[in-house]
Amino acid sequence: AAAGGANGDAELSAAPVEAGSSKVKVAAVSAEEEDNMPKEKLVLFGITCPDNRAAQFAILTVGSLVCSIGFSALQEGVTRVPGFKFSGWMTLITTLSYAVCALIEMVATKGKLEKKGSWGNYVLLSTLTFGGMYATNYALKFLNYATRIVAKSSKVIPVMLFSTIINGKKYNWREWGAVGLLVAGIILFTLGDVASMPSFSPIGIVLITAALCIDAITSNFEEKVFFRVKNPSSHSEVLLFASLFGSIWSFASVYLTGELAPAIAHSMANPQVVPSIMVFSVLGYASVSFILGMIKFFGATEAEIVKSCRKVLSIVISFILFPKALNWKYIAGFVTVVGSIAWTFQLKQEKIKAKEAAKAAEAA
C-alpha cells in the first residue's frame, strides 16, 4: 500500500509563512512555493486534467471522497461475511490488486514500464506503509474500533509536525487553528457513534501512536523523495513498486502467523470474498491515486485534510444506511467540521490572491 497506508475539502497553505507576515512577504514566499510544485500536467487514469489549480484540487478531492466511500461500503460487506476474520489475507489481495492496477495505468499512460525512484527508497516506503498498517491493525486487539478512528483522525497534526521537520515547512497560527478545528469536529462526530465509553489500554495507545507517527513520516517521505524532485515519479510508479514490496511483506505476515491456510479455505467456502476484495481494491487504488496526486500537486498536509474528511463522510453514509438517533455530538461535530472547511477555503483564497499579486509584481 502507498500514500500513508494505502489510507478538508480546502487547501491549507504549505508555504513557509510566519504569523504576522506582510502581504508582500506572503506573496514572495507563495511564489517560491509555486516554483517547487511539479511543472508537469495532472494526468489521472490516462486523462489529462485542466491546468487550473482550483479545478485540479476539486477533481482530486471529490474523486478521493467518492472512491473511498465506495471502498469502505464494499469492504464492510466483506467483513460481514460469516466467519471472515482474515485482515492479513485482505491486505495481501488488496496490495496485489494495487500493483496490477498501477501496472495497467502506467502502461496505458506511459506506454512502458518506468522507474525513477531508487529501489532502496521503495523498500523503505513499503516498509513504512506496512509498519503503519500492521501497528494500526494490531492495536485493535487492545482498543475498540471507535477509539482507533478517533486517534487516526488526529493524524494531520503529526503530518504537519513532520512536514516542518522533514520538508522545512512552516505554518501560521490560522493554519494550525483550522486543522485543530477539523480534528475537534471529527472527534466529536466520531464520538457520537460510540454507544459506550471506549476502553483504553496502554499497549493499544502506544501502538496507535506509533502508527500515526509512521503514517505521518510516510506521507512526508513520499512528498520529499518522489514528488518534490527535479524528475518526479508518477503516482502509478509509486503505487506499483511500493505495492509490489508491500505484497511481499503481507505474504510473509499471513504465512508466518498461520493465517494463510484458513483464509484460503474460507474464501473457497465463500467464493464471493476474493472478487469482492478485488472490486473494492480497484476503488481503493483510484482513491489512493487521487491522494498521491494531492500530495504531489498540493502537499501532504492537504492530503491528510481530505483523508480526515473522508472519515466524516463515511459516518454520514453509515447514518443513511443504518439510521441512528441524533445526539448533540453528531450535530456539534458536523458544525465544527463545516466551520473548519470554510476557514481553510478562506486560507486557500488568500494564498491564490498572494500568488497573483506576486506574478503581477514580477510582470511590472
Question: Among 157, 250, 150, which Cα is nearest to 204's?
Answer: 150
DSSP string, 281-337: HHHHHHHHHHHHHHHHHT-HHHHHHHHHHHHHHHHHHHHHHS-----HHHHHHHHHH
Contact between residue 2 and residue 125 where contact means Cβ atoms under 8 Å apart: yes
User: What integer pLDDT is reported at residue 148 of this predicted model?
Assistant: 63
Query: According to the per-residue pLDDT averaged within each range, which of 10-24, 160-174, 259-273 is highest?
Result: 259-273
pLDDT of 145 > 60? The answer is no
Question: Strand, helix or coil at 233?
Answer: coil
Report the percentage of the chain scoring pLDDT > 70: 74
The band of 259, judged by pLDDT with boundaries at 50, 70 and 90, is very high
More confident residue, 155 or 350: 350
Contact between residue 243 and residue 95 where contact means Cβ atoms under 8 Å apart: yes
pLDDT of 59 > 70? The answer is yes
Tell me the mean pLDDT in the region 329-352: 75
User: What integer pLDDT is reported at residue 13 of this predicted model?
Assistant: 29
pTM score, whole prediction: 0.64
pLDDT, mean over the chain: 75
Contact between residue 72 and residue 279 where contact means Cβ atoms under 8 Å apart: no
User: What integer pLDDT is reported at residue 360 of this predicted model?
Assistant: 80
Helix axes of 53-79 and 328-363: crossing angle, nearest 10 degrees = 150
Tell me the mean pLDDT in the region 226-235: 82
The CA-atom distances, in angstroms, between 164 and each of 59, 89, 169, 202, 319 are 27, 36, 4, 28, 37
User: What integer pLDDT is reported at residue 272 of this predicted model?
Assistant: 92
More confident residue, 117 or 245: 245
Q: How far apart are CA 289 and CA 292, in angstroms?
A: 5
pLDDT tens-digit map of 17-52:
222 333 333 333 334 444 455 667 787 777 788 888
The band of 154, judged by pLDDT with boundaries at 50, 70 and 90, is low
The band of 147, judged by pLDDT with boundaries at 50, 70 and 90, is low
Beta partners for residue 47, in sequence order = 44
Contact between residue 170 and residue 19 where contact means Cβ atoms under 8 Å apart: no
Contact between residue 127 and residue 250 where contact means Cβ atoms under 8 Å apart: no
pLDDT tens-digit map of 78-108:
877 888 888 788 888 988 998 999 898 888 8
User: What integer pLDDT is reported at residue 19 of this predicted model?
Assistant: 29
Beta partners for residue 43, in sequence order = 48
Helix axes of 145-153 and 202-222: crossing angle, nearest 10 degrees = 40
The band of 2, judged by pLDDT with boundaries at 50, 70 and 90, is very low
Q: Count H helices, E strands: the chain?
A: 13, 2
Question: Among 279, 280, 287, 282, which Cα is nearest to 235's?
Answer: 287
Report the percentage of the chain scoring pLDDT > 90: 14
User: What integer pLDDT is reported at residue 258 of this predicted model?
Assistant: 94
Tell me the mean pLDDT in the region 206-222: 82
Q: Of 59-73, 227-241, 337-351, which gets the smallest average pLDDT?
A: 337-351
Contacts by 334-338, CB closer than 8 A, 24 or more apart: 334/185, 334/189, 335/185, 336/181, 336/182, 336/184, 336/185, 336/188, 336/189, 337/182, 337/185, 337/186, 337/189, 337/309, 337/312, 338/185
User: What integer pLDDT is reported at residue 317 of this predicted model?
Assistant: 72
* Greatest CA separation for the chain: 72
User: What integer pLDDT is reported at residue 144 of this predicted model?
Assistant: 55
Q: How far apart are CA 361 and CA 115, in angstroms?
A: 39
Question: Strand, helix or coil at 361?
Answer: helix
Cβ neighbourhood burial of 211 (10 Å; 0-12, 13-18, 19+):
buried
If you ran DSSP here, which 8-state letter would residue 115 be given?
A: -
Q: Of 107-116, 198-207, 225-234, which gets the smallest average pLDDT?
A: 198-207
Query: According to the per-residue pLDDT averaged within each range, which of 5-14, 152-161, 211-220, 335-344 is highest?
Result: 211-220
The band of 256, judged by pLDDT with boundaries at 50, 70 and 90, is very high
pLDDT of 268 > 60? The answer is yes
